[in-house]
Chains A and B, each alone.
Chain A
Amino acid sequence: MSIFVQSLISGILIGGVYALIGIGLTIIFGVMRVINFAHGDLLMLGMYATYFLFTQFHIDPFVSIVITMPLMFLYGAFLQRFFINRVLDALPQNQILLTIGLGLIMSNTVMLAFTSDYKILSTRYSSSSVSLHGISISLPLLVSFAITTVITIALYWFLLKTDTGQAIRATAQDREAARLMGINVKRMSIIAFGLGSALAATAGALISPTYYIFPQVGSSFTLKAFVITVLGGMGSVIGATLGGILIGVAESIGGVYFGSGWKEVVVFVLFLLVLLFRPSGLLGKSRT
């Protein structure tokens, strides 16, 4: 029983980070109906930025978020402004090619700069844990979950309460009606992609003390982000939050009971089951 509780808890904790990845992707998709295949690569950039700041300037990974996050927001806004805004009205396959291409450029640039060696960012707390009623929880995972929670709450507040946040939601719900409200939808797209990039990079920063860091690490996370958003319902922020935590729990419990080689299988079986019964995802609206 305690093994179950333990794996459930660590599943939820890592799920919080997955939620950040999924929320970013779903905001981007919601606002401009573009699937960002460079999402994992943005996360990878977040990992390397954290690694670089740690090894060169001895800035703690959790502290360096305050640098990484705004920097990656600007980088995402730049990508949107100069590349993705140009293909918003293009065919979906062209949009896919563009984001895949941007991702390849990012991973290969990093490979040139840092080589393709696996890096480990080891802090003095990387393998420490806290015990509670016989359940031990990894300390970096716990800290990262706390940060994730704060960021998620701030994001919900932004989307629900501020004029810009509401305008982003309005653009996602009806792009043309948003234009008739005087909303500059191109600017909303720039903010949305900036936010998505910042969230992906933050997720990368948060997992960097516990994951291997290498230039191709992004691709598996792009897939994961996609699974999370489809599971939650494309475009739904709450759905992505739920989807992230669900995937985290499925991975963790699957890994414990079936062996870590099988955890992906558990995730995809769950994914297929949800889609079988709810084709538009947990909280998605069916599209006509």
Chain B
Amino acid sequence: MLDVRKVNFAYGDLQVLWDVDLTVNEGEIVTLVGANGAGKSTTLRNISRLVRWSSGSILFQGEDLGLLQAHDVVGRGIVQVPEGRRIFPEMTVLENLRMGSYPSGVRKDREHNFERAFSLFPRLKERQKQLGGTLSGGEQQMLAIGRGLMANPRLLLLDEPSLGLSPLLVRSIFEIISEINRQGVTILLVEQNVYQSLRIAHRAYVLETGRVVLTGSGADLLVDDHVRKAFLGM
């Protein structure tokens, strides 16, 4: 479904991605793990076309994303829930969700998608009139994911969804990610919580200083020596 081939990217003189290869198949949860600054978010920013790689290619169902602009990518069904949630602080919960269904192709499903977001996150329904900026961190993360689902994503890019959440909330966020996947949404998950994300992922890539150093099934990487030493502290 998504093919990232030999992608190189630099912020100015600082090269962040080196020949990154990555594939996501339809129906999978694929996770991209690695330390801070390994290039995980940068990979997602390239896929969403917030930035443009310098060489290599990114294909989505055979289409070259390099020819599209960020807003077109969303129209194709690739939706990113960015790091730090990026809720619109002075819009209500309902308005934030509404913005999620901005692309013209998905507006007709708006009512149905409101229901989906509210059934996954009942808390959002209680808070629908509240301003986004006044929500707690956990609620903002729910809103960010709910907002992402409003666009009928075929591929959902999640950037650090568990960052800054309480351990209890972290568990439920990962359960919800699995649930979204069971509903038919393919997921590319970037996480620093390596243990939880490997547990729910079908396949995983380990990124170190901008290079893919290891790949395999989630279960295999959980017992891999290098992964256990580097990320799980064992």
Q: CB distance B50 to A180 under 8 Å?
A: yes
* CB atoms of A180 and B89 under 8 A apart: no
Is there an interface contact between A182 and B91, defined as CB atoms closer than 8 Å?
no
**B 86-140 contacts with A by CB, 8 A:** 86-91, 95, 98-100, 102-103, 107
Do B50 and A181 have beta carbons less than 8 Å apart? no
> Which chain B residues lie closer than 8 Å to A179 at the CB level?
48, 50, 70-71
Number of cross-chain contacts by CB at 8 Å: 61
Task: State how many angstroms separate the Cβ of B142 from the closest Cβ of chain A.
Answer: 16
- A170 sits at the interface (CB 8 A): yes
Cα-based distance from A176 to B70 in the complex (angstroms) = 10
With beta carbons under 8 angstroms apart, the residue of A163, A169, A180, A185 that contacts B91 is A169
- Give B132's nearest chain A residue, CB to CB: A173
Q: Are A170 and B88 in contact (CB under 8 A)?
A: yes
Most chain-B Cβ atoms within 10 A of its Cβ — which of A174, A180, A183, A185? A180
* B 17-54 binary contact with A (CB < 8 Å = 1; else 0): 00000000000000000000000000000001010000
| B86 & A174 in contact (Cβ 8 Å cutoff) | yes
Binds A, one of B74-82, B197-205, B215-223: B74-82
Instruction: Give B27 Cβ to nearest chain A Cβ, in Å.
Output: 23
Q: Which of A142-201 contact B (CB under 8 A)?
A: 163, 166-167, 169-170, 173-174, 176-185
Beta-carbon contact of B99 and A167 below 8 Å: yes
Interface size class of A (residues with CB under 8 A): 10 to 19
Knowing A181-B99, A181-B102 touch, does A174 contact B74 (C-beta < 8 A)?
Answer: no
Number of interface residues of B (CB under 8 A): 25
Question: Contacts A179-B50, A181-B102, A182-B151: A169 and B88 contacting too (C-beta < 8 A)?
Answer: yes
Query: How many angstroms between the C-alpha atoms of A173 and B133 in the bound complex?
Result: 11
Q: Given contacts A173-B91, A177-B88, is CB(A182)–CB(B82) below 8 Å?
A: no
B89 partner residues in chain A, CB cutoff 8 A: 173-174
Q: Does B61 contact A (CB under 8 A)?
A: no
Q: Provide the bound-state CA to CA distance between A180 and B102, in Å.
A: 10
Complex-state Cα separation, A184 to B100, whole angstroms: 13
Instruction: Tell me the A179-230 residues at the B interface (CB within 8 Å).
Output: 179-185
> In the assembled complex, which residues on chain A have CB atoms less than 8 Å from the CB atom of B80?
180
Q: Which residue of A lies closest to B147 (CB)?
A: A181
Q: Are B71 and A184 in contact (CB under 8 A)?
A: yes
**Is B69 touching A180 in the complex (CB atoms < 8 A)?**
no
Q: In the assembly, what is the distance between CA of A182 and CA of B105, in Å?
A: 11
28 sample A-B contacts, Cβ–Cβ < 8 Å, listed by A number: A166-B91, A167-B99, A169-B88, A169-B90, A170-B88, A170-B91, A170-B99, A174-B89, A176-B86, A177-B87, A177-B88, A178-B99, A179-B70, A180-B48, A180-B50, A180-B74, A181-B74, A181-B99, A181-B100, A181-B102, A181-B103, A181-B151, A182-B71, A182-B74, A182-B151, A183-B71, A183-B102, A184-B71
Give the top 8 A-B pairs by smallest Cβ distance, nearest first: A182-B74, A177-B86, A182-B103, A179-B70, A184-B71, A173-B88, A182-B71, A181-B99
Residues of A within 8 A of B (CB): 163, 166-167, 169-170, 173-174, 176-185
